[in-house]
Amino acid sequence: MRRHKVLIILIVLVVVSSFLFLMYGLNPNSYQYALSLRVPKLIAIALTGSGIALSSVIFQTVTNNRILTDASDDTPQSTSNNTDCNIQLSEPKNFKNLINDLYPM
């Protein structure tokens, strides 16, 4: 329930700040010109933010970072049980050994 309230508050803040960004300082003589510059900026900001958020979630999921999981989750975070990641951490002597360690044939 608390998460829903926080999410609703954040959505309201985004909508209000977007509205203020679009409308602040407009006058009847220049509103069309100002909006033609501000709307693409707002769209670019939204796309960039959502792209960064999505890539962060994907990266944290792939690396099994616990920061995205619920703190009450009691599952052990041992990498030895993970069947998705079979990389053994050893110090390679050169680039060819590194590739062979990552992609065994």
pLDDT by residue (tens digit) across 41-82?
999 999 999 999 999 888 888 887 777 655 554 455 544 454
Mean pLDDT estimate for the chain: 78
Sign of CA dihedral 55, 60, 63, 64: negative
pLDDT band of residue 21 (cuts 50, 70, 90) is very high
* Whether pTM exceeds 0.75: no
Q: Which residues contact 5 (CB under 8 A, 6 or more apart)?
A: none
